[in-house]
Amino acid sequence: MVVTTAAAANVLKGGVLMLSWCNRGPPRPLLSTCSFAHSIFRIRTKIIAARGGGAHWLPSFCTAADAAAAAAATADECSSSSSSASALSSDPIKDAANMLDIRVGCILRAWRHEEADSLFVEEVDVGEPETRIICSGLVNYIPLEHLQDKKVVVLANLKPRNMRGIKSCGMLMAASDASHENVELLVPPEGSLPGERIWFGSEEDERNQPDAATPNQIQKKKIWEFVQPHLKTDASCVAMLGVHFMRTSAGVVVCRSLKNATIS
């Protein structure tokens, strides 16, 4: 099949396309389509070049349905690009922190570890049917009587550790200065309830908070090790993850007096 000069002219005029079959009789009409437009691309290009003009004067070979489909495809591409941009703009540190199970706890009783001079043992209510036993190295920093009936912040999805014969199921979170000579427990706001999960950011962030990772995942992916260097208190002693407040439904988490301190 060859396209005659007259056929090309008809195409350029937007009329009915006439195809000539070599040695096979008179031309036969065939409606123009998008696919056929591509087959005469070279002819159109040569004519455009000869006229020295742009392609704006050429007729469109697409129907209204074709245009609508193209518009829909463009919209899909834009939506896909927007989603990709959103994914790229996510904060990996905050995403990792959202996998931590940080809860409000209440120390029901505390005592000295019989086999370790630097350890306290605390029985802590974290909103579960059974209380947890947690060992903490706070003997040199906090008087024992200051722990009794104390509201605390507990990292609850660490793997249990055997600490001198006692299985410790979690960690009390605290702030410390650069020299590590001063240590203070993080304090949930008044009105926080044991078991309430703590999050970072705004109220909307609480609604979008994913389920916490399992202790095995926390250990295998080293999530705590990745997040911990980014936990600090600000100049007002408020606990922060970067620019995000650590908070409960009752307000922000603080420490008593340590500013710009490390949290662990």
> Within a 10 A sphere around the Cβ of 255, how many other Cβ atoms?
22
**Alpha-carbon span 86 to 233, nearest angstrom:** 29
Exposed/middle/buried for residue 169 (C-beta within 10 Å: 0-12, 13-18, 19+):
buried
Q: Could you tell me which residues come within 8 angstroms of residue 141 by beta carbon, excluding any fewer than 6 positions away?
A: 182, 183, 184
What one-character DSSP code corresponds to residue 107?
E
Q: What is the pLDDT of residues 68-108, one digit of tens each?
A: 444 444 444 444 444 433 443 489 999 999 999 999 999 99
Of 123, 110, 109, 115, give the one whose Cα is nearest residue 165: 115
The whole-model pTM stands at: 0.67
C-alpha 128: how far from chain center: 28
Q: Is 138 helix (H, G, I), strand (E, B) or coil?
A: coil
Task: Answer yes or no: are the C-beta atoms of 242 and 230 closer than 8 Å.
Answer: yes
pLDDT of 61 over the 50 cut = no
Q: Of all residues in the chain, what percent carry a pLDDT higher than 70?
A: 66
pLDDT (tens digit, 9 = 90+) per residue, 170-179? 999 999 999 9
Per-residue pLDDT at 209 exceeds 50: yes
pLDDT tens string 136-171 = 999 999 999 999 999 999 999 999 999 999 999 999
Domains in the chain, CATH or no CATH each: 5-79 (no CATH), 94-263 (2.40.50.140)
Give the rounded percent of residues in the chain with a pLDDT score beyond 90. 64
CA angle 76, 208, 87 (to 5 degrees): 40
Given a cut of 70, whether residue 217 has pLDDT beyond it is yes
Instruction: Tell me the sheet residues that pair with 221.
Output: none
What does the pLDDT look like over 19-59, one tens digit per residue?
A: 333 344 444 444 444 444 444 445 554 544 455 544 443 33
> Which token pair is 118?
């630097």
Q: How far apart are CA 86 and CA 193, in angstroms?
A: 34
Q: Which two tokens stand for residue 210?
A: 């994913």
How many angstroms separate the CA atoms of 177 and 118, rounded?
19
